[in-house]
Amino acid sequence: MKKGSIVKGEITAIKPYGAFVKIDESHVGLIHISEISDNFVRNIEDYVTVGDVIDLKVLDVNDNKVSLSFKALHKRKKRYKIVLKSGFSPLKEKLQDWINEYQLKSDD
């Protein structure tokens, strides 16, 4: 097993900092929480669960311990923000109405 290779492993345990993976009889790996997704990961179980058999990328090998990446192979589609074509025009148009409404309420 070497850095950069793709391996199949079974999730054996999940901790707040990452997921442990059994790759074969002599190798155990860890997917650190930072290697789960490019997005913020609140709960690793939103991505993997114990018993899942998944493909992973090897980041590093130290003795029989392996650092793995889930996000390198399982990219989620990016969500694009909606861009308003009208810009600030609707705000500009409503601003004076809001000011007048506020003044009326404060006079009561």
Show the domain range for 34: 6-69
Residue 105 lies in a domain: no
Distances (CA, A) of 43 to 15, 34, 48, 49: 10, 12, 9, 11
Residue 12 lies in a domain: yes
CATH number of the CATH domain containing 47 = 2.40.50.140
Mean pLDDT to the nearest integer, 17-22: 96
Residue 106 lies in a domain: no
Residues near 36 by beta carbon (within 8 Å), at least 6 away in sequence: 18, 19, 44, 47, 48, 70, 71
Q: What's the structural domain count of the chain?
A: 1
Residue 77 lies in a domain: no
Residue 26 lies in a domain: yes
Residue 59 lies in a domain: yes
Model pLDDT for residues 59-80, shown as the tens digit of each residue:
999 887 899 999 999 876 555 5
* pTM as predicted: 0.68
Q: Helix H segments across the chain?
A: 89-107
Residue 107 lies in a domain: no
Helix-, strand-, coil-residue percentages of the chain, each rounded to 5:
25, 35, 40
Residues near 103 by beta carbon (within 8 Å), at least 6 away in sequence: none
Would you state the pLDDT for residue 79?
52
Residue 55 lies in a domain: yes
